[in-house]
Homo-oligomer: A and B are copies of this chain.
Amino acid sequence: MKQRQLRYVGQNIPRVDGVDKVTGKAKFTGDLVIPGMLFGKILRSPYPHARIASIDVSEAEAFPGVSAVLTSADISDTDPYYNGRPIIAIQKARYVGEPVAAVAAEDEETAEEALSLIKVDYEELPSAVGLEAALRHGAPLIHENSKNNICSHERVEKGNIEKGFAEAEEIFEDSFTFPMVYHYTMEPHSVIADFKEEGITVWSSSQHPFQVRGDLSRIFGVPLDRVRIVIPYLGGGFGSKSYTKIEPLVVALARRARRPVRICLSVSESMLTVRRHAVRVRLKTGVKRDGTLVAREAEIYLDTGGYADNGPAVAIRAATRVLGPYRIPHIRTDAYAVYTNAGSAGSFRAIGAPQTIFAGESQMDIIASSLGIDPAELRLKNLLKKGEELMSKLRAIDADIASTLKKLVSASQWKKRSRKKNAAVGLAIGATNAGGMPISVAMVRLLADGCVTVLAGSTEMGQGVRTVLSQIVAEELSLSLDSIRVGGADTTVTPYDSSTGSSRSTTLMGLAVQAAARDLKKQLIKIGARVFGVRRSQVRVEDGGLCCGESKLTYREALERRFGGPGGELIGRGDVGAEITGSLPVFWEIGMGSAELDVDRETGEISIRRYVSAADVGMAIHPAQCVGQEEGAAMMGIGHTMFEQMVYEGGQLVNPNLVDYRVPGFSDLPREFHSLLVENRDGPGPYGVRGMGEGGLVSVAPTIANALARGTGVRIFDLPLTPERVWRALNLKDKGKRT
């Protein structure tokens, strides 16, 4: 079948938020001023684990300029837990930095000063910081009514693992660790809340407006239609603003103050609010000598911090994602989210994947090396084909992963470059069962002047979702982009969307918007058929209007004919729900990378000479934005691979700032970077789109670790690959020991 010519989709049109962003007109939550707004500050626990014996807020309340002080005593009428977190510490503090009280005052300085007037009487408790401390026998219980510190446990099983290992000819068992890392978005968490009897209004830097709405509705006992969440532009998410974070606290404080309250966290506070799970993985894989995978067993512990947040969901993903996209007959993995006395972990770009895929893909190279098989060949041999299932509970693989790997091998000149002696060349695959819930609803409204407004609850957080949705509508309605406007998420205006995250918006909100645009088109064609006096099939949309032969009707005219006068509007609606996929994931997200390193044996410093990232995007609606995602993902991956880690000492996070927490700078980027987009138009989204933006991240750490191992013979099992760690490994190797 001849493919329809696309005019807007596939084009690198100027970003619709571009001018706003570069001229500084784009407003973020912290830029907003709400009349009568107070400024809030949070008093945080100085102890990793302590009982709160009493809190005396009388002096703070009496301090001039203070409107309200909030403690757990003020939330007794609420249902105060969400995702396992309390609005504010109740009876106990479980990490250094946990909110214990909050003040709303006329300005930030007054609020800050008032914090120092709050007297909290703590009884310090033995603490358990880090997985080891929390898991050891007799560890202090962080949540006292449980028998240990396991927050959740997910087991994935297939075949018979014992039988699998019995059938294996070689068994490899290794342990890997991945540190706590932070998203480091440009914008820390910012919330303005207003609590009135008639309802709650919240302006928030949130990727999950509708989840926040649901939580606030339940916590404060207010129906959904009286909770309004407005999301201005967002200065980077990466999961840090997934699910509900400080919104309930700010709402509770505003409720107490009877005025709107704004709280914008500092970077340090945001780091204590959410981070990526530190993970320990023990991975055991059995293979035939020809490289055929037979069995894989994993034991994964995730440091989830003082409260669950979405630790259980991360554990669920980790238990599957550790397997890779490989054909393995016998599987057993166990993933445990573990409470520790640290700030809570939560979502972070490709939850549970970078940690476990670092393990899995490192071990694939260990196996290849041991069996004397080319790492690319080993993967090709075991890759699941399109239509094959990893497990019966999951939707079958929907992409041709092998073809992407072949393209990567070719683009990276793998064979030529890896043949060189001591060439530090490596590759790894990051394939994940994408996590997006397939619930999105959208509307497309055609106004009387022919302009179109797109109502979609996606958050524009730099990823370009407004641009992509505009392109879809332009394509479907054959309408120029300057007639189309996509606004921000506002739960009172935009219909339900389950989240902005999990690489889901272009695919799922894209489908909903496409359906809404098509619904609108159908209505227009019906009008056209009536006006032209022809069958609907004879009417086409073209150049922002309807036509049939020589007859033309602008959308504006169509609207007038429909309503019998100026005014009126047409509303197209569309949604995706359970019906679009028989089972989850909605799609498999496919990324992979190859790297060529320079290793300074004197200092242990690694630099990346050349990096090639490949992503199977199904169809690139906006290729330049896809490449931008790939570049950003690689850079973020370089961060956790080579530099980043949050360091806790004595229960305290000791590097909560850009000086002590090292993110990549420009000099750390690959000297040569290539991005390869594979477009087979076989994704489930509009025009065959498949979500992307995570795969490019998860493959970085094993790619670099594998390149290092192939170039130097040193296998490092613990991230980050700091010069010190690499230097030590190189020296130990020279002394014949393992790190």
Contact = CB atoms under 8 A, between A and B. Distances in A.
A567 B496 contact: yes
A569 B496 contact: yes
Nearest to A580: B564
B568 A496 contact: yes
Contacts of A55: none
A34 B449 CA distance: 29
Contacts of A453: 225, 492
B496 A493 contact: no
Interface stretch (A173-181, A570-578, A725-733): A570-578
A688 interface: no
A496 B448 contact: yes
B223 A563 contact: no
Interface stretch (A279-287, A426-434, A435-443): A435-443
A422 interface: no
Nearest to A448: B224
Interface residues of A, number: 51
Interface in A25-84: 25, 33-36
A568 B564 contact: no
Interface string A178-220: 0000000000000000001110000000000010001001000
Contact of A564 (B35, B441, B578): B578
A530 to B, nearest CB: 10
B210 A567 contact: yes
B25 A224 contact: no
B439 A565 contact: yes
Given A198-B20, A568-B441, A493 B492 contact: yes
Interface string A534-573: 0000000000000000000000000001111111110101
Contacts of A385: none
Interface in A226-272: 226
Contact of A225 (B35, B451, B571): B451
Nearest to A495: B569
Number of copies of this chain in the oligomer? 2
Contacts of A487: 492
B33 A224 contact: no
A94 interface: no
A36 B561 CA distance: 43
A452 interface: yes
A575 B566 contact: no
Contact of A577 (B20, B225, B562): B562
Nearest to A487: B492
Given A563-B577, A565-B439, A568-B496, A225 B452 contact: yes
Contacts of A356: none
A578 B566 contact: no
Contacts of A578: 561-565
B25 A225 contact: no
B448 A25 contact: no
A669 interface: no
Given A495-B569, A573-B573, A224 B564 contact: no
A224 B451 contact: yes
Interface in A449-473: 449, 451-453
Nearest to A226: B485
Contact of A36 (B33, B447, B483): B33
Contacts of A575: 563, 568
A453 B228 CA distance: 12
Contacts of A438: 564
A567 B197 CA distance: 24
A498 interface: yes
Nearest to A447: B224
B567 A498 contact: yes
Nearest to A23: B197
A23 to B, nearest CB: 9
Given A33-B36, A447-B224, A448-B214, A568 B577 contact: yes
A321 interface: no
A92 interface: no
A34 B35 CA distance: 6
A276 interface: no
A332 interface: no
Given A224-B447, A448-B214, A563 B20 contact: no
Nearest to A482: B223
A296 interface: no
Nearest to A576: B563
B449 A566 contact: no
Nearest to A445: B495
A226 B487 CA distance: 10
B571 A447 contact: no
Given A225-B447, A451-B223, A452-B225, A566 B214 contact: yes
A453 B492 CA distance: 9
A90 to B, nearest CB: 26
A736 to B, nearest CB: 55
A255 to B, nearest CB: 16
B25 A198 contact: yes
A498 B493 CA distance: 20
Nearest to A483: B223
A448 B437 CA distance: 15
A496 B567 CA distance: 7
A438 to B, nearest CB: 7
Interface string A485-509: 1010000110110100000000000
Nearest to A440: B568
B449 A223 contact: yes
B36 A571 contact: no
Contacts of A496: 447-448, 567-569
A441 B569 contact: yes
A98 to B, nearest CB: 28
Contacts of A449: 217, 223-224
Contacts of A498: 565, 567
26 contacts: A34-B35, A210-B567, A214-B566, A223-B449, A224-B448, A224-B449, A224-B451, A225-B451, A225-B453, A438-B564, A439-B565, A441-B569, A447-B496, A453-B492, A492-B493, A495-B569, A495-B571, A498-B565, A498-B567, A562-B577, A563-B577, A563-B578, A564-B579, A565-B578, A568-B577, A571-B571
10 nearest CB pairs, A to B: A564-B578, A563-B577, A33-B35, A496-B569, A225-B451, A224-B447, A224-B449, A439-B563, A223-B451, A439-B568
